[in-house]
Amino acid sequence: MTAMMRVPRTRGVGSGVLLILLGAWGALIPFVGPYFHFAYTPDAAWTWTWGRFFLEIVPGVATALGGLILLISAFRPVAMFGAALAAAGGAWFAVGHLLGPVWSSTTTLGVPGSTPAVFNPGSPTGGPLHMVAENLAFFTALGVVIVFLASVALGRLAVVGARDAQLARGEEVAWDKPRRSEKPDKLPEREKPVTEDGERPSVWRRLTTTR
C-alpha cells in the first residue's frame, strides 16, 4: 500500500514550475510594478504596507512553496498537499482584496470607518483600462490561473495510473516512449487477387466479376 503512494517527480514538474513563477510574480509585482507605472497605491517602488503583506506576499509565498513541494516531492500525499497549498494561495489572491470594503473598521460611535490596514490593497493607478489590467494581473486573474494549475495537478495526482500500479508491484517501468527505430515493423499489406495474365484487377473489373 505504501508503494502506491509513490509518484514520479515528472508528474508535477510543469505545474510546479509555473506555480513558483506565478507565486513570485504575485509577491514581487507590488514592489517592482511602480518602475513600469503598473501599481496600486502607494505607487512607489519597494514600499511596505500591511495590506501588501497579507494580500500579496502571504499568498505569493504560499503559492511558490506549494509549487516547490509539488516539484520535488515523490510521495503522493505530500505532493497533493503542495498543490492544495498553492490552490489556497490562488484563492486568497482572487478574493482577499474584496474583503477590505466588507470588513470596515468602526469608530467609537459605531459609524463605519476606514478599511483595516491588513485588508487595504490600495487603489489602482492610471486610466480605466489600466486599472482593469492591474486588478487582473495583481489579484483576480492571477488567482484564477493559480487555482486552475493547482487543480490540474491535484487531478493528476489523485489518479493511480497503470504505470503507478506496476511501480507499486515492483515491476520495471519504461517511462520513455520507444523510439521510432525501436518500434516493430509494420505488418505486410494484405495481398490482392491477381488475374490470369498476372495483373491485379481494377475495382471496376472486380465489381463486374462478382455480379
Counting every residue written for the chain, the total comes to: 211
pTM across the whole model: 0.74
| Strand (E) or helix (H) holding 166 | helix 162-168
Task: Kindly give the parts of the chain with pLDDT less than 50.
Answer: 175, 187
- Closest to 155 in 3D by CA, of 53, 87, 97, 74: 87
Distance of CA 18 to the CA centre of its chain: 6
Neighbours of 175 (CB within 10 A): 8
Q: What is the pLDDT of residues 144-179, one digit of tens each?
A: 999 999 999 998 888 776 566 555 555 555 545 555
Instruction: Render 96-120 in DSSP notation, one character per residue.
Output: HTTSTTTS--B-TTS-B-PPPGGG-
| Strand (E) or helix (H) holding 71 | helix 58-72
| Strand (E) or helix (H) holding 162 | helix 162-168
Identify whether the C-beta of residue 95 lies closer than 8 Å to the C-beta of residue 121.
no
